[in-house]
Amino acid sequence: MSEIQSFKVVLVGESGVGKTSIITQFIDQTFQEDQQSTTGGTFSTKSVVCDNGKTLKFEIWDTAGQERYRSLTKMFYKDANAAVLVFDITRKDSFEELQNYWAQQIKESSPPDIILAVAANKSDLIDNEAVDEEKSRAFANELGAIYVSTTATTVESINELFIEIAKKYTNATEIKIKGDDDVQEQQQQQPEEKKDKLKLTQEKSNEQKERKKSGFC
For residues 89 and 131, is the Cβ–Cβ distance under 8 A? yes
| CA 56 – CA 166 distance, rounded (Å) | 7
- pTM of the model as a whole: 0.78
All structural domains of the chain, each given as residue ranges with its CATH number in brackets, are 3-193 (3.40.50.300)
- What pLDDT does residue 136 have? 98
Measured in residues, the chain has a length of 217
Kindly report, residue by residue over 189-211, the tens digit of the pLDDT. 444 544 454 445 455 555 554 55
DSSP per-residue codes, 116-145: EEEEEE-GGGGGG--S-HHHHHHHHHHHT-
Mean pLDDT, residues 148-160: 96
Average pLDDT of span 161-185: 80
Q: How far apart are CA 121 and CA 143, in angstroms?
A: 18
How many CA atoms are closer than 13 Å to the CA of 31, on its beta-carbon side? 11
pLDDT digits (tens, 9 = 90+) for 81-140: 999 999 999 999 999 999 999 999 999 989 999 999 999 999 999 999 999 999 999 999
Question: Cα angle at 182 between 176 and 184, to 5 degrees?
Answer: 160
The secondary structure element, H or E, covering residue 147 is strand 146-149
- 10-22: per-residue pLDDT in tens? 999 998 999 999 9
User: Residue 68: what pLDDT?
Assistant: 52
Query: CB under 8 Å to 96, separation ≥6 — which residues?
Result: none
Q: What is the pLDDT of residues 33-72, one digit of tens each?
A: 665 555 455 789 999 999 988 899 999 998 875 555 556 6
